Structure 1
Amino acid sequence: MLPSEHRLADGELFRLATRCGSRCGSSTLVVHLLLREGDGPPVVGFVVSRAVGNAVVRNRVKRRLRHLAREHVSSLPGSCVLVVRALPAAGGAPGRTLAEDLAHCVGRVTVRG
């Protein structure tokens, strides 16, 4: 589980990250990274729409992504905002594919950042 200090709950930061942040996409995910001033911990948020599947599928995808994002929090720069948006293909993708896509996208946006 992702620790509470790393959870993104502010709607305005979600919007800023998706509109103004660096972006990288794959077949199952789109990752947005917004670098911000300050000395807080990096925060991670998830967007899983109804296009991904029914409630059971969406919750499974969110749980998998939260678990995978926990491994990447330590590599995120300073006080940044990371938003992971699941695409419809994420609903049927195996966990290994989600892990590879998340690692690839996080690596790309942190380099660009």
Structure 2
Amino acid sequence: MKKEHRIKRSDEFSRVFNEGFSVANRQFVIYVLPKEGQDFFRVGLSVSKKIGNAVTRNRVKRLIRTFFQEHEQAISGERDYVIIARKPAVDMTYEQVKGSLWHVCKKAKIIQPKVRAHK
């Protein structure tokens, strides 16, 4: 992911949490904050130490990043997203992570119309 497509600073995370809305399933919570005039979407990831050690957390983050890179054209721009991984995400394969994230993105209505999932 490009640097400008990431949310890194604490105040940016707080703004998405406080001003945005959230949608969840068993594996992930996604916070969405619409941002007018921003041509692309930005993503912030939160994987708690409760999930596991550093290797486990980094694997989960890598799978989430891969999903957003693969589906960049399908996901609505002009928004900031914060994705929080829950404990069940640890034991999932990439295909399961992809299906779960696609599901939560559809619930949040951030998938652009007429774009199909790559299954």
Q: Indicate the RMSD between aligned Cα atoms, in angstroms.
A: 1.7
Match of 2:95 in 1: 96
Alpha-carbon offset, residue 7 of structure 1: 1.3
Match of 2:86 in 1: 87
Name the count of aligned residue pairs: 110
Alpha-carbon offset, residue 75 of structure 1: 2.9
In structure 1, runs of 5+ residues without a counterpart are: none
Deviations 1:60-90 (A, max 9, x none): 1111111111123333333210111001111
Other structure's SS at 2:70 match:
helix
TM-score normalised by length of structure 2: 0.81
Q: Residue 27 of structure 2 contacts residue 87 of structure 2 at CA under 8 Å; is this kept in 1?
A: yes
In structure 2, runs of 5+ residues without a counterpart are: 111-119
Alpha-carbon offset, residue 40 of structure 1: 4.0
Q: Name the CA distance, whole Å, in 1 between partners of 2:70 and 2:16.
A: 20
Are 1:22 and 2:40 matched, yes or no?
no
11-20 or 25-34, which deviates more: 11-20
Match of 2:55 in 1: 56
Other structure's SS at 1:67 match:
helix
TM-score normalised by length of structure 1: 0.85
Are 1:109 and 2:90 matched, yes or no?
no
Aligned-residue sequence identity (percent) comes to 29
Match of 2:34 in 1: 35
Other structure's SS at 2:81 match:
strand
Q: Which has the higher helix share?
A: 1
Match of 2:117 in 1: none
Deviations 1:90-112 (A, max 9, x none): 1122222211111111122135x
